[in-house]
Each structure stands twice: as structure tokens, then as C-alpha cells.
Amino acid sequence: MTTTATAPANAEKRYTVHRADLPLSCPTPEMALWNSHPRVYLPVEDAPDHQAQCPYCGAIYRLVD
């Protein structure tokens, strides 16, 4: 069964993610791709402050657990 992503892509500038969401990509699987940039994977778990910024849209993702 195919599910349709319903969240608008790149609608926010800050996102909170959990370890269950890894590997992290921007846009995330929940976001619609038709109006977004190419998918890029972000190494948020390897960053010293557990934050990563998307090079395309500038969204900041923060790992909280």
C-alpha cells in the first residue's frame, strides 16, 4: 500500500527529531516532494551539538534523544 505524504515540504525552519526518525533526510518522508528540493541525508547524530542544517532550505534539525 502506498501512502501519500501530506505535510508541506520545508514549511518550518526548525524541527525536532528522535532516534527513531534516523536516518534523517530533508525533506523528511512525511513531507510532500513535489514542491521541494532534492532529498539530502543529514548526519545529525554525529554532530557535536546534535543539530544539522539542510544545505538547500536552511532548516535546522535537532536530535532530542
Q: Can you give the residue range of the structural domain that contains 56?
A: 14-63
Is residue 27 included in any domain, yes or no? yes
Strand partners, 17: 63
By C-alpha distance, which of 58, 57, 55, 64 is closest to 21?
A: 64
Provide the number of structural domains found in the chain: 1
Extract the C-alpha cell encoding 18. Answer: 528522535
For the stretch 4-45, pLDDT in tens is 566 776 778 999 999 999 999 999 988 887 778 999 999 999
Q: What is the pLDDT of residue 1?
A: 42
Is residue 3 included in any domain, yes or no? no
Asked whether the predicted pLDDT for residue 61 surpasses 90, the reply is yes
The pTM for the full model equals 0.81
Q: Which residue has the higher pLDDT, 13 or 63?
A: 63
Is residue 9 included in any domain, yes or no? no
